Amino acid sequence: MKYRINKKTKDKISEIGLGSSYMYEAGMEEAVKALRRAYEGGINYYDLAAGDGATFPIYGEAFKDVRENIYYQIHFGADYTKGTYGWSLNLNTIKKSVQWQLEQLHTDYIDYGFIHCQDEISDWETYKKNGIYDYILELKEKGIVRHIGLSSHTPSVINQILDEADIDMLMFSVNPAYDYGQGEYANGGVDERNSIYKRCEKEGIGISVMKPFSGGQLLDASQSPFKQALTPYQCIRYALDKPGILTVLPGAQSVKEVETLLAYYDQTEEDLDYSLIGTFAPASASGKCVYCNHCKPCPAGLDIGLINKYYDLAKAGDGMAVEHYKTLEKNASDCIQCGHCDSRCPFHVHQSERMLEIKEYMEAR
């Protein structure tokens, strides 16, 4: 397992985490085994926007002896007072639900208390008006909530809340379908969604990824909007390559499914290569580097994807990106203009020209 650091909280978070939407369907015994295997495999980050209240005693049983070694995302607005998942903006309902969740989890604190499922500005206005956000802040003052998170599918709403609230972690839906305007939660255009990744990287806000497989559709050619199947590993790599991403949260219901996720680190670079998405990228994505590294190996030894990422972040106002760029062993000034990367880029980026552009920009900083 590899880990990434949340810049705001300093938490060391596993690149692969675990969602819990349908964990309960496996039953207590099998689900506990799956969670313990995840923990043994180095997974330390778990989302609890569960599909049913039966999930919580499963987690409580699985992790009661290792609670201090893991991180929970708990959602203020996910209501389990009636057993199954519900969504609520009623403060008293939320208080009861959160207290019940803590009891079932055998814990007295929340690592990341989430402003839950804010997809419309009206949701956020109601959330504030009803005192829910103030309640999270109150619990943070008491040390019951350690950090504050936000879950949303809508870039415009995310930007407004980030402007108004001190957010440490964003839960956002990241996959090629949504980024390219395909699917129920494909909110925002290519540039608007990319701006969220860059903003979070710049401001040190970590991103945990929900729906990395677009509800499984991307893994099945017959269901995929692109009529081609991707592997789980390509989807995970795609998300992890985006700026700001800390952890990807696919679901799993069995030890076997957890093993499949952990096998991500056994894959070859060829297995992880998701450049085929360039064949169905929309016109708005053409000519824009997605850091897929399909251009590797560079004859001159440049890490072209990383150079592009630092450049894009620098242009977005991230001063640290300039410093990181300048510490690279080789940068854009070392490009020999051979055109190898131009011929290989599935997104039609003229990388040799871009290296000249990056060289000029960075040398002026």
pLDDT in the model for residue 22: 85
pLDDT in the model for residue 264: 98
pLDDT in the model for residue 256: 96
Looking at domain 3-278, which of 3.30.1490.20, 3.90.1640.20, 3.20.10.10, 3.20.20.100 is its CATH number?
3.20.20.100
What confidence tens digit (pLDDT) does each residue in 22-32 have? 888 899 999 99
pLDDT tops 90 at residue 285: no
pLDDT tops 90 at residue 208: yes
Q: Average pLDDT of 243-248?
A: 98
What confidence tens digit (pLDDT) does each residue in 121-158 have? 999 999 999 999 999 999 999 999 999 999 999 999 99
Q: What percent of the chain has pLDDT over 70?
A: 100
pLDDT tops 90 at residue 337: yes
Q: Torsion angle, CA of 219/221/227/228, rounded to 10 degrees?
A: 60
Contact between 267 and 278 (Cβ < 8 Å): no
Residues constituting the chain: 365
pTM of the model: 0.93
User: Which residue bears the tokens 């909110």?
Assistant: 187
User: If pLDDT is split at 50, 70 and 90, which confidence band does 274 have?
Assistant: very high
| CA pair distance 34, 23, nearest whole angstrom | 9
Q: Average pLDDT of 60-65?
A: 97
User: If pLDDT is split at 50, 70 and 90, which confidence band does 83 have?
Assistant: confident
pLDDT in the model for residue 151: 98
pLDDT tops 90 at residue 65: yes
Q: Which burial class, exposed, middle or buried, applies to 270 when counting CB atoms under 10 A from its CB (0-12, 13-18, 19+)?
A: exposed
| CA pair distance 297, 349, nearest whole angstrom | 16
pLDDT tops 90 at residue 81: no
User: Which residue bears the tokens 């880029």?
Assistant: 345
Residue 231 DSSP code: P
Where do the domains of the chain lie?
3-278, 286-363
What confidence tens digit (pLDDT) does each residue in 97-110 have? 999 999 999 999 99
pLDDT in the model for residue 24: 87
User: If pLDDT is split at 50, 70 and 90, which confidence band does 283 have?
Assistant: confident
Q: What percent of the chain has pLDDT over 90?
A: 91
Q: Average pLDDT of 327-355?
A: 93
User: If pLDDT is split at 50, 70 and 90, which confidence band does 318 have?
Assistant: very high
User: If pLDDT is split at 50, 70 and 90, which confidence band does 334 have?
Assistant: very high
pLDDT in the model for residue 85: 93
What confidence tens digit (pLDDT) does each residue in 152-184 have? 999 999 999 999 999 999 999 999 999 999 988
